[in-house]
Structure 1
Amino acid sequence: MRWSYLRFKALIRSSRSVRRYHHHPRCRPLCPDERTGSFLPSFRTTGPYRTDLPPLSTANRAVTVRCCCSGGDGEELTLKTAKAGRRGKGKNSGTVDMISELVVELVAAAVGSEPEAAAGRVKEILEAELQIFVASDRDFSVRLLNRLERWPELALRVFNWKRQRIDDGVSIAIEEYSKAMSIAGRLKQLDLAHELFTEACSRGIQTTSTYNGLMTAYMYNGLTKKVLSIFEDLKTHPHCSPNIVTYNILLSVFGRSMLVDHMEMVYGVILESNLTPNVSTYNTLIAGYITAWMWKDMEKIFEQMSAGNVKPDTDTYLLLLRGYAHWGRLDKMEEMYELVKDHVNKRELPLIRAMVCAYCKSSDFNRVRKIEELMKLLPQNEHRAWLDVLLIRVYAQEDLVEGMENSISRAFKQNTVVVTASVMRSIISSYFRCNAVDNLSSFVKQAESAGWKLCRSIYHCLMVMYGAQCRLAEMENVLDEMKTYNFSPTKKTFLILYKVYAKYGKRNEMERLLTIMCKAGFGIPLDALSFFS
């Protein structure tokens, strides 16, 4: 299906009266996620989920795992059940305690084991708790799936087990189908997402929520045409119509693809209809403008949000922090950082790296101090190769040789290869200004063996520095190193040698050098005649 801009415009504009059928009971967005659209807070692509599980302590019923929702090695999470003394204080308290205990057991069984063994243990736990699922209400099932969303494979395993136990009295809520479809999309299991949608429809659970779940699955995989096709089917459904979550999904799809004009059109339809934008709507718009590097539009949407009835949440400030970091607006970046500092330091390590990058590219007077304070927050496994390269350049520009060499050493250990000539020139310029010729010589040897970008300027700098200290033998050895790495001498190379020989009155060396220069066609310096007259 070929989607033109005009066809899309007609499709969106024809769905302004989006609440016309909301009196129908199946079209109400029952799930909290459906009401707020909170499963679309930003554009961070869900990466692989790794976990690190120590033995489960039965004394305090707690387990520490590592979740990688935001990339890297992720944040460390400690799951604890409530104390026994708190149980029994009302229905909600008992439900929360029961869910917490079940989540701890499931995660402990699934994490850090072979897939087949983990699947068997998870199934045993679920079979033992079968009566709980039979007697539980919709709230229990939805909360459990939401808690397991950090471990998507485990969440789908639990949901598939419930599907197999429908004949035993286990019920599946509408919201569970929607959530399961979105999780399947994040795991790139689109066939499963479509299968769940078909199954929900065959069971008579064909609601706006199920359509939104399938659209979300396609959205996570960048399938814009599929999303629009499902949206068109939803528009023509006799009892369902798009809600604010539906339009948030469309905003996210176009924002991810940097189709800003389409995204703005969807937002215009929301404003013209009787729908009310929620915090996820504004967050998705802000994220879309950040993706397209449209900083002023990002600020404009935030101003509209602040002026209205929707209050910014943590995700809003996190998005703005990232946007201002990429923009280079350090004052605004630091303002946002102060608002969510504790959250960022514990859970948003990629934002720490973004802030370090912003300081590296700035001319802030205290940038080194600020960079070092942020770097202390990053564990060793959160360092990145590109971050080391930026730090090398910053320390070189500030003539902080010790810090520069520490970053260089870390880059060598991690087998990082620098191929940017400007970074290499920054390094040799710093060594030159600090008159550290031995350090430069050692660095050049390491760079040669590590495959870093070499240039003739490095060897010229070495020759000048050796010549300034009257270390003529070592200066002449640099010529042999140049030939080893296929850098032939140029006129500038010979002029450096000539000036050093002239400085120390090395007449014989000068005569030999002038002969070589004449044979190479470089001519002789103008002051050479006066020197020999």
Structure 2
Amino acid sequence: MLREQPFYQPKEGTYMKLLVLLGKSGQPHHARQLFDEMVEEGCEPTPELYTALLAAYCRNNLIDDAFSTLNQMKTLPRCQPDVFTYSTLIKACVDASRFDLVESLYEEMDERLITPNTVTQNIVLSGYGKAGKFDQMEKVLSGMLESSACKPDVWTMNTILSVFGNKGQIDMMERWYEKFRNFGIEPETRSFNILIGAYGKKRMYDKMSSVMEYMRKLQFPWTTSTYNNVIEAFADVGDVKHMEYTFDQMRAEGMKADTKTFCCLINGYANAGLFHKVISTAQLAAKFEIPENTSFYNAVIFACAKAEDLMEMERVFNRMKDKQCPPNELTFSIMVDAYRKEGMNDKIYYLEQLQQELLNNGCLPSQ
């Protein structure tokens, strides 16, 4: 419609917005079609427009198409890839665990005298850490510490703390925390929340409390994440008394509970064998209009399995499907284990068939 107007002139900004929109809405091939139409209309392509097209492919895990776009850019003198182009592609490779491609992109950037920025390095650090590739992670981190153009920041700090905290490697987490502080990086609320979560998972309650007191001393606010981490720590061991005390304190301070809060509460009651409180907590979540996502349903399904109430478990699973909330691998794992204990092979067969169907259709998220 716009093209039919006599005043219409193709503009780079308009195409840029449309390319980004198509990428975000899962239509990368339409983005390519639009890009080609743009060129036909006489709009000169730029590195930014090519990068937007490449990003559309990356968002939809079409890495081969993204590399083809990169190679096309390299043949055009006025559309050479820049640090943002490479950063976009590196993130896609990290998300797909294609670390071999990450290394080749780093080498290519070095040959072209393009220095990775801190954002790119943080993405790679997180990817290496989650994959357990600690040698490569420390190599990237050491390079950042020695660099004058790509220094670590508080995001780097949080990434490294999360990696070691999630792995339960408390000594390494604490060591790197001190290194970053000595480097002059100041922690933020999220940094402290990561420490609290890590200490809670290892049942190091004294250290968890010390961090919370330190936050108060520095006038850092306790956030929903802060409370969730503490509630989760007590929920994991079925310590209902301290879990409820923390939840009551959270509400008294006017802090809004979220889906994770209720997942933790439900898990805590399940671990303590208090199934009647699981039901009342799920009802409270509905009253507060808490979004019911896959994690929420998994928590309730886990509680039903723990209480050996398989009829209720099946009812919750059906409600999950009715709400078009996709089950993930954990959902099936919990239910199959519950049915296996009762020797209900027909139910297991049905779930395995459904799981395979979702997997074939690319509709089965990981845990």
Distance 1:360 1:179, change over 3 A: same
Q: Secondary structure of the equivalent of 1:284?
A: helix
CA distance in 2, matches of 1:149, 1:288: 36
Matched, 1:390 2:303: yes
What aligned pairs does 1:123-272 form with structure 2 within 5 A after superposition?
123-129=32-38, 131=43, 134=46, 151=59, 153=61, 161-162=69-70, 164-166=72-74, 167=76, 169-170=78-79, 172-175=81-84, 177-207=86-116, 209=118, 210-237=120-147, 241-272=151-182
Query: Percent same amino acid at aligned positions?
Result: 16
The Cα shift of 1:307 comes to 3.1
1:156–1:184 contact (8 Å) kept in structure 2: no
Distance 1:258 1:408, change over 3 A: closer
Matched, 1:102 2:19: yes
The Cα shift of 1:263 comes to 0.9
CA distance in 2, matches of 1:321, 1:168: 57
The Cα shift of 1:184 comes to 1.9
Tell me which amino acid in the other structure corresponds to 1:229: K
Distance 1:264 1:366, change over 3 A: same
Structure number with greater Rg is 1
The one of the two structures with greater contact order (alpha-carbon pairs below 8 A, sep at least 6) is 1
CA distance in 2, matches of 1:352, 1:239: 43
Provide structure 2 residue ranges, at least 5 long, that are not aligned to the other structure: 2-11, 319-331, 348-367
Tell me which amino acid in the other structure corresponds to 1:275: I
Q: Once the two structures are superposed, what CA deviation does each residue of 1:323-361 show, in whole Å capped at 9, x if it has no partner?
A: 4543541231355476343xx34xx6xx54333111223
Distance 1:258 1:389, change over 3 A: closer
Tell me which amino acid in the other structure corresponds to 2:312: S
Distance 1:290 1:151, change over 3 A: farther
2:58–2:88 contact (8 Å) kept in structure 1: no
Matched, 1:407 2:312: yes
CA distance in 2, matches of 1:172, 1:408: 52
Tell me which amino acid in the other structure corresponds to 1:368: I
The Cα shift of 1:373 comes to 3.8
Q: Once the two structures are superposed, what CA deviation does each residue of 1:37-89 show, in whole Å capped at 9, x if it has no partner?
A: xxxxxxxxxxxxxxxxxxxxx9xxxxxxxxxxxxxxxxxxxxxxxxxxxxxxx
Q: Secondary structure of the equivalent of 2:338?
A: coil
Provide structure 1 residue ranges, at least 5 long, that are not aligned to the other structure: 1-57, 59-93, 111-117, 397-403, 422-446, 453-533
Matched, 1:333 2:247: yes
Q: So what's the TM-score if we normalise by structure 2?
A: 0.63
Distance 1:449 1:246, change over 3 A: closer
Distance 1:353 1:269, change over 3 A: same
Q: So what's the TM-score if we normalise by structure 1?
A: 0.46
Matched, 1:371 2:279: no
What aligned pairs does 1:343-362 form with structure 2 within 5 A after superposition?
344-345=258-259, 352-362=262-272
In terms of fraction of residues, the more helix-rich structure is 2
1:197–1:214 contact (8 Å) kept in structure 2: no
Q: Once the two structures are superposed, what CA deviation does each residue of 1:200-224 show, in whole Å capped at 9, x if it has no partner?
A: 2222222552544433331231211
1:212–1:245 contact (8 Å) kept in structure 2: yes
| Cross-structure match for 1:434 | none
Runs (4+) of structure 1 exceeding 6 A deviation are 379-382, 411-415
